[in-house]
Amino acid sequence: MRPLSYSRAATVEEAVALATEDPASAFLAGGTNEVDLIRAGIAEPDHLIDINHLPLAGVEDLPDGGLRIGALARMSDVARAPGVAERFPAISSALLLGASEQIRNMASMGGNLRQRVRCAYLRDGVSPCNKRAPGSGCAALEGLNRGHAILGTSEHCIAAHPSDVAVALVAFDAVVRTVGPDGERAIPADDFFLLPGDTPELEHPLGHGELIVGIDVPGAPIARRSVYLKFRDRQSYEFALVSVAAAVEVVDGAVADARLALGGVGTKPWRARRAEAALIGARADEAAFVHAAGAELEAALPRRHNAFKVEFARRATARALGQSMRGVEP
């Protein structure tokens, strides 16, 4: 058994200082991911810094119609906050379609953004995995890769990013706010998640001791009719094979604005900018939605078991755009 020490931070400054002075430390929020990884021997901190007593659990409305979500706000509280459910239904749905009610009651927003991928080859602790042991290879490339990514992959890693809510946050230009030893930062959510490239072990741009304090989502009237559709092997307690956060604004039958991001298919929550560009000015109908999705998926690099995701993602995207246009609840 490995010894593990525990501290409880009372303030953001104390949490950052405790972490900064101990390079073998990790923050502990709900523990639904960190404790699993410690038990599996994938994460090996010597010192857990409990941040649950920090005053970061609020969900506030911003004057521009946006949201300020505390890093320690629990997934279920955020999903049900009136400002989220009314003005950003895709964010609310993405949260409610994730994990289980018990996990959502424990799991924090900051922890959700930092959760590790669900690749079985990372988690088994023995297979070649460039995330766990850089340079060891990627067993998923030729292995069982049905759940793996088709966008943003590299020859070193094809693990799909697991978060649902991150997909909706990326679609609506959320910003991750942090406090670290060098001060405060505001990181666009799209830049918060790193592509694997040659360094799949680096998943986010945070330095050691840098604490996520919150997530700001700018006001976006288009988001009022946004949807989040999630397709998976079973209806609860399961990660997405394909998911879509979508919002579309139609004026005189043409697309005036669109926000689109995909989950389950990318090595990071995938903002579908090519599809968005293809949609603007197009006639708002299913053919245009399918065409736009196809433009995004041209870059897809499927593997042996996950080629089905290309067509799946195309159809899911078209369906999500159609539902957003009609204002139909997912």
Smallest CA-to-CA distance from 238 within 162, 306, 167, 169 is with: 162
**3-state SS, residue 251:** strand
Residue with the shortest CB distance to ligand FAD: 111
**Span near ligand FAD by CB under 6 A; candidates 60-68, 107-115, 183-191, 313-321:** 107-115
Site mask, ligand FAD, residues 10-29, x = CB under 6 A? ----------------xxxx
Find tokens 């990372």 and name the residue. Answer: 122
The answer to whether residue 215 forms part of the interface with ligand FAD (CB under 6 A) is no
Q: Name which position in 18, 32, 246, 248 contacts ligand FAD (CB under 6 A).
A: 32
Alpha helices per DSSP H over the chain: 12-21, 34-39, 75-80, 82-87, 89-96, 101-106, 109-114, 120-123, 165-171, 189-192, 273-279, 286-297, 308-326
Told to check if 34 binds ligand FAD by CB under 6 A, we report yes
Query: How many residues of this chain interact with ligand FAD, rule: CB under 6 A?
Result: 31
- Residues in 52-81 that interact with ligand FAD by CB under 6 A: 71
Given candidates 12, 42, 103, 194, which one binds ligand FAD under the rule CB under 6 A? 103
Contact residues for 132 (Cβ-Cβ < 8 A; gap 6+): 42, 122, 125, 201
Question: 166 is written with which tokens?
Answer: 């991150």
- The interaxial angle of helices 308-326 and 286-297, nearest 10 deg, is 140
- Report if residue 112 touches ligand FAD, rule: CB under 6 A: yes
Residue 99 makes contact with ligand FAD by CB under 6 A: yes
Tokens 């931070």, residue located:
9
Under the binding rule (CB under 6 A), the answer on residue 211 touching ligand FAD is yes
Q: Which amino acid is at 197?
A: G
Helix (H, G, I), strand (E, B) or coil at 324: helix
Nearest residue (CB) to ligand FAD, 25 versus 141: 25
Nearer Cβ to ligand FAD, position 141 or 171?
Answer: 171
Q: Cβ(51)–Cβ(19) under 8 Å?
A: no
In this complex, which beta carbon is closest to ligand FAD, that of residue 123 or of residue 291?
123
Is residue 147 near ligand FAD by the rule CB under 6 A?
A: no
Q: With respect to ligand FAD, which residue has the nearer C-beta, 162 or 294?
A: 162
Considering only residues 76, 92, 93, 115, which one is a binding residue for ligand FAD as defined by CB under 6 A? Answer: 115
Residue of 83, 147, 162, 209 interacting with ligand FAD (CB under 6 A): 162
CB atoms < 10 A from the CB of 301, how many?
Answer: 15
Binding site residues, ligand FAD, CB under 6 A: 26-34, 36, 51, 71, 98-99, 103, 106-108, 110-112, 114-115, 162-165, 211-212, 237, 239
